[in-house]
Amino acid sequence: MIVVAVIGVLAFLIGLLARAPQRQQVGAGAATQPAPSPRWYEFTLAIILVAAIAAFAIWIIATGKQWVWGESIENWRSDTRTIMFAAVMVALGVVGLVVSLAYALVQSSQQAAPSRPAAARTEGSASAQAMAAPSPVRLLGMLILVLAILLLCWIGLSSAQEYGLILQLIYPASLGLALVLIIDKATRAWGMKSAAESVREWLFCDLLTFLLVLAFLNLRGVAKPDAYVGGFWDILNIVLLFAAFWIIDRTGTRSRFLFGYGYLIVQVLLLLIWQATQGAAAPASWWASIWPFLILEGVFFILEAITLVASSGERQTLPAVKDAVFVVLYAILLIVAVKSHA
């Protein structure tokens, strides 16, 4: 609790540091001037704070200890009350993060909108029409099909038949569709996006396709098909994966890469739920759990949110480097998981 309080005080001080120059300019009568852009040291402090929180979380999970008045208590993860308290604190932190992120994005969009000239707006609208993306309403037809398949699994199929349907039809068809989308992206001649944005999209799309392959292999590892009850979670994972793929590849919104990181976090949670319903063992990793992946994705999700607030979206080189580092670290975690499982 002391560490949490210290982190809260540091976050409050960083907020005060960021707001102080703006209050001084308003007091000096600079209301007609455009809103000042955030300074580099503000985001440096924020990134350092996020790194400190991540390091503290990794250390706590890796050691499995907690300290009460200077005394070490082993195996805190076996204490139900401690787990419930930690879950409540994490939930409150996630809610606060989402609210803060939404507020920051709204403030950033409101500051950027008045400064955008009319010519740029006309050019932007023309570019948007040139790379017109399909309407999300059209996706309702596919969602109805997904709902029909789920009803078929729940009403008319046994567990073994449901397992065979998803293993032999749903996943192979999804893999084929993912490869078609990858080929379409490689051979597409149209596009108004910069080279750095294209690199970022390729990193995410390749990673999502590879994770779909791993999900298929994970399903093949089910020991008892007659006891399979994870059809809903497998189909939900596939639907969310293609939704993230579509948002990243076919839209031009600045927050599309944030959706990609958000899906990766949700996918880990879906894997945890899937294993709990199947009674399967946790995935092999440093601590035989999903925590290394979840912490890595959470940290880069926050960094992407900071990038959205800090920049106007025109420069994508540093975000592309950040995404490349994430993919490399994610690959290292997967290799460690495979080696420890072997």
pLDDT at residue number 177: 93
Does residue 295 carry a pLDDT above 70? Answer: yes
pLDDT in tens, 105-118: 666 555 554 544 54
Lowest mean pLDDT among 7-21, 82-96, 125-139: 125-139
Q: Kindly tell me the sign of the dihedral angle through the C-alpha atoms of 2, 291, 325, 201.
A: negative
336 pLDDT band, cuts 50/70/90, is confident
DSSP string, 158-204: -HHHHHHHIIIIIHHHHHHHHHHHHHHHHH-------HHHHHHHHHH
Q: Tokens at residue 67, please?
A: 């300290």
Lowest mean pLDDT among 246-250, 313-317, 334-338: 313-317
Does residue 188 carry a pLDDT above 50? Answer: yes
> How far is 291 from 208, CA to CA, in rounded Å?
19
Q: Exposed, middle or buried, 307 (CB in 10 Å: 0-12/13-18/19+)?
A: buried
- Residues shown for the chain: 342
pLDDT at residue number 7: 61
Name, in order, each residue with C-beta under 8 angstroms of 308's C-beta and a sequence gap of 6 or more: 104, 105, 108, 254, 255, 258
Does residue 8 carry a pLDDT above 50? Answer: yes
Domain boundaries, the chain: 1-71, 79-109, 137-341
pLDDT at residue number 234: 92
192 pLDDT band, cuts 50/70/90, is confident
Dihedral through CA 47, CA 50, CA 55, CA 61, nearest 10? -160
Structural contact between residues 232 and 264, judged by C-beta atoms closer than 8 angstroms? no
